[in-house]
Amino acid sequence: MTPIKKHWMLLLLLPSVLLAQLPDTLPPLINGMVPQTFDQLWAGFDPRLEPLDVEVLDEWEKDGVVLKVLRYRVGVFKGKKAMIAAVYGYPKGGQKLPGLVQIHGGGQYAQFQACATNAKRGYATISISWAGRIIAPNYSVRPANVKKFWEGNTEDPAYKVTTDWGAIDSYHAPCRYPKNTFTLNPPSESTIDSVPSPRNSGWFPCTMAARRALTFLEKRPEIDGEKLGVYGHSMGGKLTVLTAGSDSRVKAAAPSCGGVSDRKTDPSFLVDTISDAAYLKRITCPIMFLSPANDFHGRINDLQTALTEIKSKDWRMSCGPHHNHQDTGDFEVATQIWFDQHLKDAFVCPKTPVSKLKLKTQSGVPQLLVMPDNTKSIISVDVYYTQQGQIDGLRDNSQNTINRFWHHSATSKKGKVWSADVPILSVDKPLWVYANVVYSMDKPITGAGYYYGEYTVEQFNISSKMEMIDPSELQSAKVKPTLKSSMLIESFKDNWRKEWFNYKTGKWWLYTHKLYDPQWIAPTGAKLAIKVRSKEANKLVVSIDGYQAEVDLKGGLVESVSLSPGDFKKKDVAL
């Protein structure tokens, strides 16, 4: 790593009276009436109007990539400037580059790794720190540093310049002031309006910050301002949807684990101003949804509704079965190929597979027919289904979202159609079914994942829409419940790994949600029996719901292990 130079902006010490005279970015409320609609909320805001006042806090170069930690102006609130910190990176010497805004999630950081890996693939990226936290080799800002910044003690060794929301509080995890909640801060000296208002929600100024980041990108000499994209994870996924739905400069978007489920109705003024639905229906750019099937924040059921709301006809989704709020590289890479197609014309993403669920079959067992786009080499077509969940519009609980089990059904191919049986346990429960098509790549892609760890993959995944079937439909079609309750949880034969998962490539541990499925309900007094073979002496660790049992193995032979509930002890399991 070769340091180039470090720039420190010399700020003029203007009298506070002059600072207070800066005109506010947002117009005042008219007759005290708060915005009730999208148009009212954004009236009077022009993301290109004000100067950016860019300050470069650190700059370095590594492996042909120029990286900077900087701040730019979001706007002026109550006469005080709000400056957001960010990491910016681009390939040295690059010209007419596509530009990306990367938005971190709750509790996360603006991160140089996203900028660095994107730069090596020909992108300029600004990773914005709406919460004030930053990860960079020589300029990291942790939560303790953020608090020191709030205190304003510049002589403290832990003090570092970072995001400054000025007169308002749009920080998160934690908010700056204890009574604030970010989602809708109560009226106070730290809010834009002195009455309950959608402008007091942290989502609003953070979306302003993302839109100003687009302005930053389009003004950079190395960037083609007509090729801008936005992506983010979790809360960053929602902010991605809010940005893409409010700014026509976004030419491609890729939200992950957010942006589809936040449909608040209380207070009512949030419905048409801050809710996901208010922005989804305004999205016209190509959009890729990354939606793990067990995610608690951006729920796969809600994604099906979102697809009916967006105006864009060019969309895809990539849904990892069993996963909650994180993914593996073959799903995360969907972001990369989406931007390659729409911002670089360097890829053609296969179309969404067409699927059709047949309820009326000769055997009485439902069958899913899948017709994938075969313009790229197909590795596999996999069908996943579950009967854990609600279909009546009520919010799912953790039992049927985070812990729902997705049965895997192997497919067979006839002509251009792949088919799989979908045997079920009950016709009194709803049914959800979807398919994943796994494609091979012409060459490997390396990127930074949801939590910025690097991955390199040679395949990617495109998902079908999910069929959601009410029990009355199953009964009307005379579907037969052919699955039987079983005491055998896993035989470890055939495609058993499709029903287990692991987020960490190369690690030995595996997870499954099988024990939550009614098919494997244990009778009273039952024990968990396992046959295990280890080459040498080792330790078997079994974890269930934060309880853990450990068994010493002799090694060299098949050993039978029997565990009762009393063998499991409460532990903080971090596998």
State how far the Cα of 300 lies from the Cα of 193, in Å rounded to an integer.
35
Q: How confident is the model at residue 13 (pLDDT cuts 50, 70, 90)?
A: very low
Q: Cβ contacts of residue 36 below 8 Å, gap of 6+?
A: 269, 272, 273
**Span of 17-31, 162-176, 352-366, 505-519 with lowest mean pLDDT:** 17-31
pLDDT at 398: 59
- For residue range 106-160, list pLDDT tens digits in order: 999 999 999 999 999 999 999 999 999 999 999 999 999 999 999 999 999 999 9
Give the percent of the chain with pLDDT over 90. Answer: 90
Neighbours of 189 (CB within 10 A): 10
Residue 314 CB-density burial (10 A; 0-12 exposed, 13-18 middle, 19+ buried): middle
pLDDT at 10: 35
* Over residues 231-239, mean pLDDT: 98
Average pLDDT, the chain: 93
Q: How confident is the model at residue 397 (pLDDT cuts 50, 70, 90)?
A: low
Strand partners, 494: none
pLDDT at 504: 83
Strand-strand pairing, 315-318 and 354-358: unpaired
Q: How confident is the model at residue 399 (pLDDT cuts 50, 70, 90)?
A: low
- For residue range 26-85, list pLDDT tens digits in order: 999 988 899 999 999 999 999 999 999 999 999 999 999 999 999 999 999 999 999 999
Q: How confident is the model at residue 392 (pLDDT cuts 50, 70, 90)?
A: low
State how far the Cα of 275 lies from the Cα of 261, in Å rounded to an integer.
9
* Over residues 5-26, mean pLDDT: 54
pTM of structure:
0.94
* Over residues 360-382, mean pLDDT: 97
pLDDT at 490: 95
* Over residues 91-114, mean pLDDT: 97
